[in-house]
Amino acid sequence: VLFVRDCNGRFGRALVADALHGANTERIRSCHLDEAPGYGSLASEPTGRIKDVIGQLVGRGYLVQSQGQYPVVGLGPHAVEVMADSPEQPFVFTMKRRAAKRRSNERVWRAVDLIREDAAEPSAPRPRRAHVGDDGELFERLRELRRDFAVERS
């Protein structure tokens, strides 16, 4: 928020995120963002995460994003809270995390475990493969498991 204030709200979300990350691009140098006080202050964070945080700050009213072909990020109605940051009441922002696709990952691991269990059974000896790239048998087994999951789900 302070970086946007220092830049007078003249730049878009991607450029602000790149500057906060500390990117050394021609555009950042030509706009003199590399001389701004907050330049590189979030170098340890990926640019995508910085863009997400800017989006959340826009959603919560700390920043605003203009409409149009080239939207720029400016100060929102709640920006005063950030700029009035004091030791008695520091500004704290908790970032919302996206829900992980845990359920589908669990299904994948379950399928892999089932295939491994089948492979470990001595009752079904398998011939050696001719070459490593031939995964037709594995593909068919995964297709069967996927079909079973679909039936289970419906």
Q: Where are the alpha helices (DSSP H) in the chain?
A: 2-6, 13-21, 26-30, 47-59, 79-83, 102-120, 136-153
Residue 130: the pLDDT is 45
pLDDT value, residue 123: 53
The residue among 46, 52, 47 whose CA lies nearest residue 94 is: 52
CA–CA distance from 11 to each of 26, 31, 91, 98 (Å)? Answer: 15, 9, 24, 26
Where are the strands (E) in the chain, listed by range? 63-65, 73-75
All domains in the chain, ordered by first residue: 2-83 (1.10.10.10), 102-153 (no CATH)
Nearest Cα to Cα of residue 17 among 37, 46, 59? 46
pLDDT for the residue numbered 149 = 85
Q: What is the DSSP letter of 89?
A: S
Reading the chain (154 residues) residue by residue, the pLDDT tens digits are: 888 888 888 999 999 999 999 999 999 999 999 999 989 999 988 899 899 889 888 888 889 999 989 999 999 988 887 777 656 666 666 655 555 555 556 666 677 666 666 655 555 554 444 444 556 777 778 888 888 888 888 7
pLDDT of residue 104: 58
Strands (DSSP E) found in 61-119: 63-65, 73-75
Q: What is the pLDDT of residue 131?
A: 45
